Amino acid sequence: MTDPLARAASTSEPGVLELLRLFRDNEAASDQYAATRLQQAKTVEPALHAFEVLPADVSRRPGPLSGIPVAIKDIIATSDMPTTNGSPVYSGHVPAADAWVVERLRQLGATIFGKTVSTEFAWRHPGPTVNPWNPDHTPGGSSSGSAASVAAGLVPLALGTQTLGSIIRPAAFNGIVGFKPSFGAIPRIGVHPLSPSLDHVGFFARRLDDVAFALSLLAGSSDRDLHGRPLPGFAVDIEKGLQPLDKPRLAVVRFAKWSSVEPEQQKVFEAAIAKLRGAGAILEELELSELDESNWAAINCILASEAALIFADLVARYPDRSSDHLKSLVENGKSQSATDYLAAKALQEKWRGVLSAQLSGYDAILTLQHDGHAT
């Protein structure tokens, strides 16, 4: 029997900007693209398990993203299909309204291409999604299905969320681009919270140009989500995409856990440094020792405290439908003192300023994704 995932993962599938250029000159292609992707999804989905639900209607809509199928993580509300939040508590639940970002995608003409598997409430309890490059490997979480659907060539763009590492990690595990924008860049209205002080909406794509283009269209603000600072408007040219920097200055950051990284991963990291340096980039080692020592405890205090407030009642009402991971998170949060939480919040605010100063002058950071189980 032929393995439906044997050729699913691919780096050759076109990205969003490539498709928009194609659609401009080929209306038939724009009409057919999403339908073709849907048929492919139905073929590989029994083995991939990236979707909670596939779309019933993929008709093209007018707008700057016309013909582009976008998969939606299943903690992001959709008014025309279930949003389960990765939990049996919400099985079959269809929200009354779209999330802010989904409504914006519809206004832009995108095709909402189903709901992708998330870990339970974007926390540790995994769903059934496999890695399309190797089904014996994890796709990472919590945005498992979104990352796998892009890597498998089913969609060129997918929405994810990140509280700790839920975009960056699965993007790395699936060999695609993951982008977590600045805190508050995209309103989170209609996105089930895990920790409001840390939650972000972001994207997966196969090209760096595509996530920049998506951000240019989806960044915004709302009086109903006043977290963060709105981004200044910018545009990405569909023809040119992002223009490469001349001799970019990159910070190489090796956190304390570098010594525990597997040798194969260390070799890949060093090879990336050598390749970038050979291409003309300027790379400098940067230590962030104070951040390394204090940040992890603070961030987990904030997350657990806020999650306990959000989920304590749900766990109490539905103990048989809540995972041990979620119950443990709630208990951890209840054990945090108010002074510990306030101290962690103060450290978070301090580091927003300190880190910006330490990274001043660098165009990007080169580091390893966190491979823990937090999200």
Flag whether pLDDT at 375 surpasses 60.
no
Element spanning 205, H or E: strand 200-205
Q: Active site residue: 66, 87, 149, 166, which one?
A: 166
Give the chain's end-to-end CA distance (angstroms, integer). Answer: 35
Confidence class of residue 259 from pLDDT cuts 50, 70 and 90?
confident
- From the candidates 73, 118, 144, 323, give the one annotated as an active-site residue: 73
Write the CB contacts of 331 (distance below 8 Å, at least 6 apart in sequence).
Answer: 308
Q: Please give the single-letter amino acid code of residue 83.
A: T
Active site residue 12: no
The contacts of residue 368 (CB under 8 Å, 6+ apart) are 254, 255, 258, 261, 265, 269
Assess whether 73 carries a catalytic annotation. yes
* Beta bridge partners of residue 131, listed in sequence order: 134
Q: What is the pLDDT of residues 196-242, one digit of tens each?
A: 999 999 999 999 999 999 999 999 999 999 888 889 999 999 999 99
Structure-token pair, residue 49? 């398990």
97-115 mean pLDDT: 98
pLDDT(11) > 80: no
Which pLDDT score, from 0 to 100, does residue 9 have?
64
Q: Can 166 be counted among the known catalytic residues? A: yes
* Average pLDDT over all residues of the chain: 94
**Residue 257: its pLDDT value, please?**
86
pLDDT band at 373 (very low <50, low <70, confident <90, very high): very low
Catalytic residue among 30, 142, 197, 323: 142
Residue spans of alpha helices (H) in the chain: 16-25, 27-48, 100-107, 144-151, 168-174, 208-218, 263-278, 289-317, 324-335, 338-358
